[in-house]
Each structure stands twice: as C-alpha cells, then as structure tokens.
Amino acid sequence: MAEPPSGALVLFSGGQDSSVCLAWALDRYARVETVGFDYGQRHRAELAARQAMRAGMAERFPAWAARLGGDHMLDQRGFGAIGETALTTERAIEITERGLPSTFVPGRNLVFFVYAAALADRLGLETLVGGMCETDYSGYPDCRRATLDAMETVLELGIERAFPIATPLMRLTKAETWALAKGLGGEALVELIRAESHTCYLGRRDGAHDWGLGCGACPACELRAKGWREWADAGRPAMTP
Ligand code: ZN
C-alpha cells in the first residue's frame, strides 16, 4: 500500500461543513492549505467567515496552527455569470422545474475540483478535501459520491496524477457533523464553528440562534437549525474522527 498522503487542499467556503472538513484535515495531514472560490456570491459574509475561521482555528489549536498553510482565493466570477442562480442574483430561492433548488449552479462543484486539482498540483498537495454530503443535502447532483468518484477518474486521466477526493461528511447527517466537530476539537471547536461559520443563503449574520447566526428561515438555515437541534437533543455526543 502507498504511504498515506501528507498534504491536503481543503475546498473551504467558511460554511459549517467546510469548516468541519478543515478541522478534519488539520487533524490528519501534516500540511493543509485552503482554497475558496469567488463566483460572485450575492453576499460577502461567507468570504469574511473564511478568514475568521482560519484565524480562530490557528489561535485555539496550536498543533493545527503549525500545519495550516496558505489560503488561496480563485476568481470564478466568469463562471458565476453563466450560472445565474439564486446565490449570485436576486432571484428567489425556490424549487425549479428540474426539481432542484434555484441555488443550484450547474456544474459548479465540477469546476471547483478542476481548479482545485490544478492548484494542488502546483502546491505539491496530494489530496483534495470537500464538504459534500448526500445525507442531509439539497439534491445537488454534483455533491454525490458517485460524481466525485468519476471526477477522480477524470482528474487522474487528464492530469496524469492521482487526486484522491476525501469527503469526510458524505454519509453524515447535520447532527453527526456537529458530533464530528466535537470529536475533533471539543466544545471549543463547536463554539468556533457555531459563532463564526456562515451558512445563511441570504447572507444574514443576525438572529443569535443557539445554532449560530443567520435569517433562520432560508433552506440553509433550516437545515443547520434542524441538525443542531437533533445533536443537542441527543446530549451533544462527540464522534471519533
Ligand atoms: Zn438563512
């Protein structure tokens, strides 16, 4: 068997899921860098959350600070202009005729992985880490593990180098994602993610709910609130990474 990979590039949006993925990677890999994508999001709150989360993890977890390398922001606004969904324009969040939320940007995750692989190759990082999840998700077809398995094949064929795509949250519920956060960094990490990660589709940072900040009514806030409630009702268990 090959040596375990030592470096990872985390697709990092500043949301709850990718924040837990960043902690998971920092727990596991000797060198971790982050990449974010500016695709013309209507709201800049999640871009600001990225920096607060990185700084918070480095400050509260010295062992992780030593592993946390650079942050890279890639301009995807040209792609965002093609997508024209509720995330990038003032269109209402609704279910479209295709049965997908209007927040779905066709092919977005596929594009992210091509860019991330090119960057990881340049940085000498072996593994790509993404917070995709097909348990409590919105039905995005490019979040499915089958899609990412195919993407691994495409990347390896097209770049002639293996790019394992790690998706630690793929089979977890939102409640289990909180449990994993606690297992990785205790209540300190839970509090950091609760307070600093950004989920709300409307870009709101108000409300001071027990699960964090946000409008409380959009599909992303509802999913986050539901997961928090289930985790809290279960006695805030910790999941071993
Ligand atoms: Zn919201």
- Model pLDDT, residue 28: 96
Specify the range with the lowest mean pLDDT, choosing from 64-68, 96-100, 124-128, 154-158.
Answer: 96-100
Q: Rounded distance, CA 175 to CA 190, Å?
A: 12
Q: Rounded distance, CA 188 to CA 182, Å?
A: 8
What the chain holds in terms of domains, given with CATH numbers, is: 7-197 (3.40.50.620)
Mean pLDDT of 42-63: 89
pLDDT above 90 (res 10): yes
CA of 22 to the centre of ligand 1 (A): 22
pLDDT above 80 (res 235): yes
CA of 160 to the centre of ligand 1 (A): 41
pLDDT above 60 (res 155): yes
Give the helix/strand (H/E) hosting 37: strand 31-38
pLDDT above 50 (res 94): yes
CA of 101 to the centre of ligand 1 (A): 14
Closest CA to 145 of 161, 131, 133, 127: 133
- Model pLDDT, residue 24: 98
Mean pLDDT of 198-218: 88
Residue 69: pLDDT band (50, 70, 90) is very high
CA of 62 to the centre of ligand 1 (A): 32
CA of 67 to the centre of ligand 1 (A): 32
Considering only residues 153 and 136, tell me which one the structure prediction assigns the higher pLDDT. Answer: 153
CA of 49 to the centre of ligand 1 (A): 15
CA of 20 to the centre of ligand 1 (A): 19
Residue 141: pLDDT band (50, 70, 90) is confident
CA of 203 to the centre of ligand 1 (A): 7
CA of 204 to the centre of ligand 1 (A): 6
pLDDT above 50 (res 1): no
Mean pLDDT of 169-197: 96
CA of 104 to the centre of ligand 1 (A): 16
Q: Rounded distance, CA 29 to CA 39, Å?
A: 28
- Structure tokens of 228? 């928090």
- DSSP string covering 112-128: HHHHHHHHHHHHT--EE
Helix, strand or coil, per DSSP, at residue 165: strand
Mean pLDDT of 128-140: 82
Chain mean pLDDT for the chain: 88
